[in-house]
Chains A and B, each alone.
Chain A
Amino acid sequence: MENSSAKRLCFARTNEKSNNSHYPNKHHHQIGHKHGEGSAIDYYAYASKIRGWNPSFKVVFSVLTLLLCIVLNNPLVSLAVIVSMAYLTVIKGGLPLRAYLSVLLIPITFIILGTVAIGIDFSSQPIGPFNFSLGSGYLYTSVAKLKEMVFLMLKVFGAISAMFMMTLSTPSSEIIEVLRKAHVPKLIIELMNLIYRYIFILLDVFNTMRNSADSRQGYCDFKTSCVTFGSVASNMLVLSLKKANAYYTAMEARGYEGELLFLEDEKPFQINQVIYPVGFIFFLLLLWYITK
């Protein structure tokens, strides 16, 4: 039901894109890493209440915040970014908190492993207040290093939440449109538009194949699943090549001459949507300047 409303909103632009939230989510037991999340982000973007904001403005604001978060490299700035972006996405955008958290937690493994590797060092002599003997060498860390770890985590989460503010409120087709306005080469825009549409077509193909293999015990054990995965993947390639030919013929029949043109919603700037973000950016700079 929700999905159909999202579809209705976007049918003018993405007529070929299929029902994306049908991508079944079989493994609920894992926190923070659910598959089909990709189409979920796309779905949230269409359902967001701040989707009506001007997309160029959202992209610029999100990238600017993201850059400030990284350049200023200040834990307080990171915290301010995390809180305000969560406010924009969850309260203004109307995304359920649980959904937001589950999207935020997708990269958690990388963050934990990556920061642990930075925080913990090894050496042949025991250095630092906390060390752990490994026979031939020592693993050690210090308060300063642990602090660096926590600050880095904050920075990464700040940067991620700034990016998610954009991706969870701006459908990819609008982001591509912004890139086109920014004079990214036409060929790349063309490929992006096509790839974006084909992703959902192939996901549909994959789901059908997976279901039919599953109902025939194709995933009953590890060896069978490997064989099934391989045959599904190779069949998917064969089908996608066939579809590629058919789509080109269809496009040519409709007068395709190397550029896809889409009808675009007019989403004008609203002045009060600009005042707050500009104020916010000055606030971040001020915060950084005071706590430098």
Chain B
Amino acid sequence: MNTHLNTREKRFIAVVAAIALVFGFTPVASAMHIMEGYLPVGFSIAWGVICIPFLIAGYLSIKKNLKENPKTITLLAMAGAYVFVLSSLKIPSVTGSCSHMTGTGLGAILFGPAPMSILGIIVLLFQSTLLAHGGLTTLGANTFSMAIAGPFAAYGIYKLGLKLKINKRVAVFLAAALGDFFTYLVTSIQLAMAYPSESGGVAASAVKFLAVFAPTQVPLAIIEGILTVVIIIGLETYAQPELSDLGYLTGGVK
């Protein structure tokens, strides 16, 4: 076996080793689901209410799609199952620390942000009952951060990237990574609003939550971006017709 490496390969290995070192210290990190029981009642209800308009919009968009093309139902269900499975998979890391993708960025790019709210709330419900990530009373808050804010941010960044004519892969990376990052930001603010700091109020508390979760969430956002690009490259290579079907049916990428 050829063990000689050229400079580029060496540099690549150094970068990978540095990334690995960072990930090596990453403790168990699931996507930032707010746990059951963590939010006071008022906040649980308020976040649920905030989600309602988005859920209704998603519901109507799905209903309209189904009327035009009833076949979409299995496709949408598969999309939901796909996001669930993707988010339950352990993503690669060197030391065996566990982290998951959120899959929301990819979902938004592929399926469009509108149906993601309904699919997202169903996926989150299954995540809390089947995976013990998140909970019933925090479903509203989690839906807002993961099924509404994250996908909309990812989709917006992706579209903006395409409009600015930056490399499509860079756009996908930015959309997935920043979408993930935005979810983490929203979750921290949600937590901070429920538990403001004594001395500094909500803002100081938000900084605390951001700092505490940063070691798990920042590398996760970057790796989610990388993996999403790899997945999109794979899809573009093998599944061009399916991709255009998907865009046609659900208003996602064309």
Contact = CB atoms under 8 A, between A and B. Distances in A.
Interface residues on B, range: 35 or more
B140 to A, nearest CB: 13
B212 A191 contact: no
B57 interface: no
Interface in A162-195: 163-164, 166-167, 172, 175, 185, 187-188, 190-192, 194-195
Given A117-B212, A226-B92, A227-B230, A187 B63 contact: yes
A49 interface: no
Contact of B137 (A67, A166, A237, A244): A67
A251 B232 CA distance: 30
Given A70-B137, A231-B230, A233-B231, A222 B92 contact: yes
- The A contact surface, by secondary structure, is helix
A103 interface: yes
18 contacts: A29-B96, A38-B131, A114-B212, A160-B132, A172-B126, A190-B73, A192-B125, A194-B74, A195-B122, A198-B78, A198-B81, A199-B126, A199-B130, A230-B230, A233-B89, A237-B110, A241-B239, A244-B77
Interface of B: 12, 16, 19-20, 27-30, 32-38, 40-41, 44, 59, 62-63, 66, 70-71, 73-78, 80-82, 84-86, 88-94, 96, 98, 110, 118-119, 122-123, 125-133, 135-137, 191, 195, 197-200, 204-205, 208-209, 211-213, 216, 226-227, 229-235, 238-239, 242, 245-246
Interface of A: 27, 29-30, 32-33, 35, 37-39, 41-42, 63, 66-67, 69-71, 73, 103, 106-107, 109-111, 113-114, 116-118, 120-123, 127, 152, 155-160, 163-164, 166-167, 172, 175, 185, 187-188, 190-192, 194-196, 198-199, 201-203, 206, 219, 221-223, 225-231, 233-238, 240-245, 247-248, 251, 258
